Amino acid sequence: MHSLTTDNVVSPKEGTYFVIALLISIPLWAALTLLTLGFVWIALAVIGIVLWFTNGLLVAGLKSNAVAVHPHQLSRLNTAFCEVCNTLGVTHRPELYIIQSGGLLNAFATRHSGRHFVVVYSQMLESLGPDSLEMKFLLGHEIGHIRRNHLVRRLLLGPALFLPLIGAAYSRSCESTCDRYGVLGAGDVGASLRAMMTLAGGKEAAQEMDPHHFAEQNRKHRGFFVSLVTTQEAS
């Protein structure tokens, strides 16, 4: 992989698939408007209000039940997060929370009322460690979603993303971009791969997994049904 910087971190395929999906979505939005006499926009407005309210409840739950990360709470993780944000050129840091996961390995980013949030599941924190390079990859990945404004873009491209192939292709290209953000944030390709292996197989399995065969698995299994859920992305 060539050297990543904030100038070339975005996957080239993300821009290509975005344009294709946008060109598909524009006539589909127009057709839906004509066929429903504009009522589709009323329905979307109602759905938007419901989603805004639901996301508000999610954020309220984080603030009341999750653990807010700051210099005086989980300071090692906070330091790692600040370092990743600085590396990625993030001036307004999202709020970072740790939430009990019931054993699930994951993390996500969300937005509400103009504020961004990154949430790491507790099991992910235990598996990677608070200030490891693997954790920096994970944090960088989620910051990538925020920097690329993927949530809003997906709403704009809604009709096209329901179609086979193009929806999966665009989603995979977005994830590839965020993986590149993660690699840049961690500054270590090997640690990034270990983080992805942990996400795929869990902490114990990742310790015995072979990185070469893990990467080869993605390249080896191709076909129509695989293409519905993923696309091949060359590094």
pLDDT in tens, 28-55: 999 999 999 889 999 999 999 999 999 9
Residue 51 falls within a domain, yes or no? yes
CA distances from 102 to 59, 66, 123 (A): 19, 13, 8
Residue 235 falls within a domain, yes or no? no
Per-residue model confidence (pLDDT) at position 192: 93
**Domain ranges, residue 94:** 12-229
Query: What is the domain count for the chain?
Result: 1
Checking if the pLDDT of 233 tops 50, the result is: no
Residue 3 falls within a domain, yes or no? no
Percent with pLDDT over 70 in the chain: 91
Predicted TM-score (pTM) of this structure: 0.89
Residue 222 falls within a domain, yes or no? yes
Residue 170 falls within a domain, yes or no? yes
Radius of gyration of the chain (CA): 19
